A and B are shown apart, each in its own frame.
Chain A
Amino acid sequence: MEDPGKTEVVLLACGSFNPVTNMHLRLFELARDYMNGTGKYRVVKGIISPVGDAYKKKGLISAHHRVIMAELATKNSSWVEVDSWESLQKEWTETEKVLRHHQEKLEAGGCDRQQDSPVLERPGRKRKWAEQRSEVSQKKSLEPRTKGVPEVKLLCGADILESFGVPNLWKSEDIAKIVGVYGLVCVTRVGNDAQKFIYESDVLWKHRANIHLVNEWITNDISSTKIRRALRRGQSIRYLVPDLVGEYIEKHSLYSSESEERNVGVVLAPLQRNTADTNSNPTV
């Protein structure tokens, strides 16, 4: 049922999801309740977009597994789903591009079935889509959004917001687009410094109307790092991740001291890329 007064919203969460946890899933629930509760928005979809292996984060296991775990985790959700487009890209893809991809998909009326899961991936189709996308994006990048099309917003925790300050992790023009064109829904613990962080950043302050801070009253510290640590120590992760995810991890012995050593000594993709860009083209 449509409500003409409300803006439809799609919440997009990018991240490692290494593995997905109940906390990630809670972010969606809290954000949806909050946005719907303002009376101005109607959240119609949630998307988990696991990062590609080319991100080169320490301990990052294969995207194939991470996507499947996210799919298992959202099996019982009526509105949150997984999209594997980002994870299938050969190179690491900036978050702004992922947002753009999903916004354009919506505008193209492309709410066809979500991107094929890795099991069904057809490489030919992917290449064609990638070519089309690069053409379309050049025309459409800064045009006002088509009316009636849902708005994609980046869903995140306060840690992402604060990571905007890490040198070379984000391009400043990307940050400007993320908050200026799309919008941020940021779930933060009570007493967190998110507001202070926004205040101290000119670009965030400028677009503060487009940054929605959602209070998380229940401290819910289920980080993937702690999950992996517990697994290495033979400790239970029951009730911290959906049962199906826990079973999958156990069945495939996904996390170990060895897996945690992946990408050690390798520079994180955004740092590599942005440092190279700065060196070759020193503008900010």
Chain B
Amino acid sequence: MKSRIPVVLLACGSFNPITNMHLRLFEVARDHLHQTGMYQVIGGIISPVNDNYKKKDLAAAHHRVAMVQLALQMSDWIRVDTWECEQAQWMETVKVLRHHHHQLLRSLSLEEGPDQGTAVSPAPAAAPELKFLCGADVLKTFQTPNLWKDEHIQEIVEKFGLVCVGRAGHDPKAYIMGSPILRRYQHNIHLVREPVQNEISATYIRSALGQGQSVKYLLPDAVIAYIKNHNLYSRDSPRKGNGTRNSGAETGQSGPATAPLSSP
């Protein structure tokens, strides 16, 4: 029996804050890859972006990391990684992928050995792969001028691979067909259908919190408690970032930024 390729899923983004939708990405992506019969997902990594990304209203990295940690308390396969946000400068996604891929190879080669059981299948003949996990909105941002370097996009889809989860209002097949680079490496892009439409955006969460509305059941209780205890995202929270609007290149960014008030 052909052994499956071990895969780690890496999601980059603001996670400002992390939501149940972010967490769902991992679950549906894992199910999808398993059901292809070709992969065995051995881990998931959430890598919050560096504060120097300078996105409007970006809470401090240490808060965003703490919230992800709380959200992942009950997960036995996803973890948070702070390498990206600890760097002195913001760095391109491809560099984060390279770093984690390198780490992955190192950690697995240390574990291999005739007498050591690994988390992977008994005979890990296939080299482990690190795949970039994102929503369809991120795939669309590949088209935004100057947001991504072409050679980086190519490296992401050629060397690593993309697992892209659908979102309402997005047509990932069209984005792929509309880009020569993506078209060429479409075999390395896994499009995942999420049958349970779930449009929880962090933008909405921040807006609801600012208006004193409930966000219970949209993100883990422990994260909500943390937000309240540290007074994040309330109307009078100190604002971070220089106010420039960066249009995405993160998971969790919804399309239109309008988050209307509760009652019409």
Contact = CB atoms under 8 A, between A and B. Distances in A.
B180 interface: no
A220 B27 contact: no
Contacts of A239: 20-21, 23-24, 27
Interface string A242-261: 11000000000000000000
B213 A33 contact: yes
A232 to B, nearest CB: 13
- Give the interface centre of B21, B196, B200, B216 by most chain A CB atoms within 10 Å: B196
B217 A29 contact: yes
Given A29-B216, A239-B20, A240-B24, A34 B263 contact: yes
Contacts of A32: 214
Contacts of A234: 31
B19 to A, nearest CB: 9
Interface string B202-234: 001000000001111110010000000000000
Contact of B217 (A22, A34, A219, A226): A22
> Majority SS of interface residues in chain A?
mixed
A117 interface: no
Contact of A222 (B198, B213, B263): B198
Contacts of A22: 20, 217-218
A242 B217 CA distance: 8
Given A22-B20, A218-B199, A38 B30 contact: no
Nearest to B258: A217
A34 B23 CA distance: 27
B113 interface: no
Nearest to B32: A235
Contacts of A37: 262-263
B34 to A, nearest CB: 9
Dominant SS at the B interface?
Answer: loop
A243 B74 CA distance: 9
Q: What is the interface residue range for chain B against chain A?
A: 20 to 34
Contact of A25 (B27, B196, B216): B216
A36 B242 CA distance: 35
Contacts of B221: 76
Contacts of A217: 204, 259-260
B28 interface: yes
Interface in B5-21: 20-21
Nearest to B201: A218
B264 interface: yes
Nearest to B204: A218
B214 A29 contact: yes
B37 to A, nearest CB: 13
Interface string A39-76: 00000000000000000000000000000000000001
28 contacts: A22-B20, A22-B217, A22-B218, A23-B217, A26-B216, A26-B217, A29-B215, A33-B262, A34-B262, A37-B262, A38-B263, A214-B263, A215-B264, A217-B204, A217-B259, A218-B199, A218-B201, A220-B199, A220-B200, A221-B198, A222-B196, A223-B196, A234-B31, A235-B31, A236-B27, A236-B28, A239-B27, A243-B74
Q: Which 10 A-B pairs have the closest CB atoms?
A: A236-B27, A29-B214, A221-B197, A239-B20, A219-B199, A22-B217, A25-B217, A239-B23, A235-B31, A33-B213
